A and B are shown apart, each in its own frame.
Chain A
Amino acid sequence: MDLLEPTSQAFRLLLAGDPELLRIIWLSLWVSVAAIALVAAPSIGLGFLLAKKRFPGQRAAVVLVQALLSFPTVVIGLVIYLLLSRRGPLGSYELLFTPWAIMIGYMVIAFPILVVFTISSVQGADPRVYETARCLGAGRATASLTTLWEVRFGILAAVVNGFGRAISEVGCAIMVGGNIAGLTRNIPTAIALETTKGDFAQGIALGFVLMVVALGVNVLLALLQGEGGLK
């Protein structure tokens, strides 16, 4: 197969600012960013509680969240589809086959990543962090926030991982978004579709964008971490 021609065509599409391509890229970005923005705070909070507090069922809750990590995304998509479908309990909101449905799917997919990474970061934190904050006069809430701040690089890595998982997800996005041109078609679903149609140029262009986004986010993370991220 000749890859040179579709690749050069892909870059021509990108450089020309093809409106369809830009719409797809914009949808992927805003839906992924919004999903992570909405799910980050509750997930990090839950991760902190599961790491620090002892309560009946805590272990089972951690195991459940860990199990969600390995849940197939098409199954997550199926569950959300059933909930949002016209005859489902949330059908009256008419969210199915809209970007909002994709956002909900992304939130569900990113949730266990954020929780598990937060648990790992907080449990790996030096126990003196919380004690030092308390000894210096901080209340429980302030000492907890101080602990989260001290493990901020781990938390940032969790957010970046969650974003990376969301923006590159296919199965759930196709099921609940429907891959509708101009409405719910995003980068990974478009790549899947264009490739099956034999239109490699758009697939390559979008794949390139996806890799640039992934690389960009990780470079940003490294810059934010600075030397503090390397221990």
Chain B
Amino acid sequence: MTASLVRLHGLRKAFGARVLLDILELRIERGGAYVLIGGNGCGKTTLMRIVAGLEPVQAGGMEFGGEPFRLSAYPERLRRDIVYVHQQPYLFHTSLRHNLEYGLKCRGLPPAERERRVEDAIAWAGLQAQAATPPAKLSGGEKQRAALARARALQPELLLLDEPTSNLDRAGRGQTLALLGQLREERRTVIVACHDQEVIGLDGFTRLRLHDGWITQQSG
């Protein structure tokens, strides 16, 4: 049995009197691919944001790589290991290369390594023709692929992707689905929140169903 990369326990998130999440335990295995499903407003995005350290909680703890901590005291160093990609990803108004290089610079990687990873990310996302295009002029699908490539280039321990195929046309969805399949093949630990049946049906993804604040797991 592989060791759990993430173990969430005793998680409670409420908005006023409404308890959105009440999760006793959730384990994410290293190298596993998960799809988080549930109705609108059930807390998928909130759960992802909590794991990424973007959302405060009333109670709960987390273990990451066996290291325990309280979610109310989210360790800064985890921001290098866990990367969250918004439903509508934001690309900085600079250049595509700068976007791809941003997190690499934050990690203090040497220029040659940054250059190598940027080139690899551009090729992985199939954005060679758009490399010189300002991000604001990219299509929705291209922006999504750029954001996925930007996150992947950081080689994080855990990738959290929020509805990566929403708001995309057929072509954009197809390309994004292919990239999700590649992430799975590369044995990246990834959680994808979505409604998209094509994503839910992707081979090798374990389904996590969120309902009434509880999580149940179904085999992929």
Contact, CB under 8 Å: A228 / B102: no
A127 CB to nearest B CB, Å: 9
What string of 1s and 0s marks CB contacts (under 8 Å) between A110-149 and chain B?
0000000000000000101101111111110010001001
Count of chain A residues near B, Cβ 8 A = 17
Across-interface contacts of A146 in B (CB, < 8 A): 92, 102
Q: How far is the CB of A137 from chain B (nearest CB, A)?
A: 4
**Within 8 Å of chain A (Cβ to Cβ): is B154?**
yes
CA distance A228 to B92 in the complex (A): 11
A228 touches B93 (CB 8 A): yes
Across the interface, do B106 and A150 meet the contact criterion of CB distance under 8 Å?
no
Contact: A128 with B90, CB < 8 Å?
yes
Contact yes or no, A137 B92, CB < 8 A = no
B195 touches A (CB below 8 Å): no
Interface size class of chain B, counting residues whose CB lies under 8 Å from the partner chain: 20 to 34
Interface centre among B76, B93, B94, B107 (most CB of A within 10 A): B93
Contact of A135 among B52, B94, B134, B136 (CB under 8 A): B52
Interface residues of A in 58-86 (CB under 8 A from B): none
A132 to B79, CA, bound (A): 11
B181 on the A face (CB < 8 A): no
Q: What are 30 A-B interface contacts by the 8 Å CB criterion?
A: A131-B54, A131-B84, A132-B89, A132-B90, A134-B53, A134-B54, A134-B79, A135-B52, A135-B54, A135-B79, A135-B83, A135-B85, A136-B83, A136-B102, A136-B103, A136-B106, A136-B154, A137-B106, A137-B107, A137-B154, A138-B103, A138-B106, A139-B76, A146-B92, A146-B102, A149-B92, A149-B94, A150-B93, A228-B134, A228-B136
A interface residues, Cβ below 8 angstroms from B: 126, 128-129, 131-139, 142, 146, 149-150, 228
Which 9 A/B pairs are nearest by Cβ-Cβ distance?
A: A136-B103, A128-B90, A137-B106, A132-B90, A135-B84, A137-B80, A137-B103, A138-B106, A137-B79
